[in-house]
A and B are shown apart, each in its own frame.
Chain A
Amino acid sequence: DGGITQSPKYLFRKEGQNVTLSCEQNLNHDAMYWYRQDPGQGLRLIYYSQIVNDFQKGDIAEGYSVSREKKESFPLTVTSAQKNPTAFYLCASSSDRHRGRLTDTGELFFGEGSRLTVL
Chain B
Amino acid sequence: AQSVAQPEDQVNVAEGNPLTVKCTYSVSGNPYLFWYVQYPNRGLQFLLKYITGDNLVKGSYGFEAEFNKSQTSFHLKKPSALVSDSALYFCAVREAGDFNNDMRFGAGTRLTVKP
User: Chain A: residues with CB nearer than 8 A to chain B?
Assistant: 4, 6, 31, 33, 35, 40-43, 45, 48, 50, 58, 88, 90, 92, 94, 96-97, 102, 105-113, 115
What are 11 A-B contacts defined by CB distance under 8 Å?
A: A40-B108, A96-B99, A97-B97, A97-B100, A105-B32, A106-B94, A108-B34, A110-B43, A111-B43, A112-B43, A115-B41
Closest to B45 in A: A110
Q: Which among B43, B100, B102 is the interface contact of A113 at CB below 8 angstroms? A: B43
- The B interface, classified by DSSP as helix, strand, loop or mixed, is loop
Contact A107 B43 (CB under 8 A): no
A13–B43 Cα distance when bound, in Å, is: 22
How many residues of chain B are within 8 Å of chain A by beta carbon? 24
A94–B49 Cα distance when bound, in Å, is: 14
A4–B94 Cα distance when bound, in Å, is: 21
Chain B residues within 8 Å of A50, by CB: 99
A48–B9 Cα distance when bound, in Å, is: 28
